[in-house]
Amino acid sequence: MRILITGATGLIGSHLIPALQQAGHTIWLWVRSPAKAHALWPELHAVSQLDQLPAPDTFQAVINLAGEPIAAKHWTASRKQALRSSRIDLTRVLCEWLSKAPRADRVLLSGSAVGVYGDTGDQLTNEKAPTTGTDFASALCRDWEAAALTQTTAAGRVVLLRTGLVLSGAGGLLKQMRLPFSLGLGGRLGNGGQFMPWIHAQDYVRAVLFILDDHRLKGPINLCAPNPVTNREFARALAQQLHRPCIFPVPAWILRAALGELSDLLLTGQRCQPAALTEKGFTFEFATLAEALDNLL
Ligand SMILES: NC(=O)c1ccc[n+]([C@@H]2O[C@H](COP(=O)([O-])OP(=O)(O)OC[C@H]3O[C@@H](n4cnc5c(N)ncnc54)[C@H](OP(=O)(O)O)[C@@H]3O)[C@@H](O)[C@H]2O)c1
């Protein structure tokens, strides 16, 4: 397939691109800096403007991952605008471009996150759950998904990648947590009861390849392992894997004082199930957190 990818130079792209190349796909990148992309993948086509790409109907698949990092800075009004614009506006522009040349057998895989459900406590949450959260992250994901769904008329399939925390040895959450936990300073956040849906980066990549091939899959798809854990269980498992104690909880009020609204990301959660994937026969190589951490650390 000829595949267009946005947000390619990020953590997920760095796992996905080699696997797509190995599967024999031809990859084009729409990036902010073609020079940066070429430094990573000299053999790939990278452009900064959509009009530098071949016609939209020459692409069989589009994978849309671009977005400012959500937890990198405090959620000031201007930061929120940057988080929204880098996802929602970019997705609208991409879809307008795609709609210039509709193609019934094209698939758009567009980014989203399990945060779209809002805080669902300990209720089991599959793709049929309502996405009516009132917090910033939920509204962001909802509007991001809505921007992608405008493409349904121009593409045969639109898939919303409702992604959990991607566990990778190369970056992301695990890398950030590793230092304090290695120093024996790890612990739960708040009361630790909030669920943390997670997925091993290798399973994320396998799931994307599965979705590209299985034409029955469309609409929202939870990309998370079948065994989400609470933050308390996650902290304990990580500490155990690193042979360190897990005795320094961070109270919710400290997180709220230090991070403001961004602390919602750490103190709320979803007990998500990958129902759409498992119903279609997808199996996870890393179904439990212990297996994933054992592989990655
Ligand atoms: N990693 C996770 O655990 C996780 C979980 C849930 C959802 N997601 C979502 O999945 C997507 C990919 O995740 P990731 O971990 O690979 O993210 P990442 O490492 O932060 O990379 C995101 C990419 O988006 C592009 N980007 C950043 N700011 C941008 C801007 N202002 N305008 C346009 N493009 C911009 C960049 O690509 P270029 O420089 O190549 O253009 C960047 O490499 C993100 O949208 C993220 O919200 C990730």
Percent of the chain predicted with pLDDT > 90: 96
The two tokens of residue 182 are 């290695």
pLDDT(46) > 70:
yes
* pLDDT tens digits for range 116-173: 999 999 999 999 999 999 999 999 999 999 999 987 666 679 999 999 999 999 999 9
pLDDT of 276 reads 98
* pLDDT tens digits for range 66-85: 999 999 999 999 999 999 99
CA distances (Å), origin 220, targets 15, 132, 179, 232, 260:
22, 14, 34, 28, 30
Answer whether 122's CB lies under 8 Å from 72's CB.
Answer: no
Closest Cα to atom 32 of ligand 1:
86
Q: Using CA atoms, how far apart are residues 153 and 164, in angstroms rounded to an integer? A: 28
Q: Using CA atoms, how far apart are residues 68 and 73, in angstroms rounded to an integer? A: 10
* Sequence spans of domains, the chain: 2-296
- What is the widest separation between alpha-carbon atoms in the chain? 57
Closest Cα to atom 47 of ligand 1:
67
Q: For the chain, give the mean pLDDT.
A: 96
Pocket of ligand 1 (CB under 6 A): 7-13, 31-33, 37, 65-70, 86, 90, 111, 113, 163, 165-166, 172
Question: Average pLDDT in the 45-74 region?
Answer: 97
d(CA 135, ligand 1 centre) in Å = 20
Closest Cα to atom 37 of ligand 1:
7
CA-CA-CA-CA dihedral for 79, 83, 85, 88, to nearest 10: -160
Q: Using CA atoms, how far apart are residues 136 and 134, in angstroms rounded to an integer? A: 7
d(CA 216, ligand 1 centre) in Å = 27
d(CA 166, ligand 1 centre) in Å = 12
* pLDDT tens digits for range 277-286: 999 999 999 9
pLDDT of 155 reads 62
d(CA 111, ligand 1 centre) in Å = 9
d(CA 31, ligand 1 centre) in Å = 11
Q: How far apart, in Å, do the first and last CA atoms of the chain sit?
A: 34
d(CA 173, ligand 1 centre) in Å = 13
Closest Cα to atom 23 of ligand 1:
7
CATH superfamily of 2-296: NAD(P)-binding Rossmann-like Domain (3.40.50.720)
pLDDT(177) > 70:
yes
pLDDT of 153 reads 64
Q: Which residue has the tokens 């991607």?
A: 166
Which atom of ligand 1 has the smallest separation from the CA of 112?
A: 7
Which atom of ligand 1 has the smallest separation from the CA of 72?
A: 20
Q: Using CA atoms, how far apart are residues 230 and 267, in angstroms rounded to an integer? A: 11
* pLDDT tens digits for range 256-266: 999 999 999 99
Which atom of ligand 1 has the smallest separation from the CA of 30?
A: 41
Which atom of ligand 1 has the smallest separation from the CA of 87?
A: 45
Closest Cα to atom 34 of ligand 1:
66
Question: Average pLDDT in the 200-221 region?
Answer: 97
The closest alpha carbon to 28, from 57, 8, 51, 11, belongs to 8
Beta bridge partners of 108: 62, 158
pLDDT of 154 reads 63
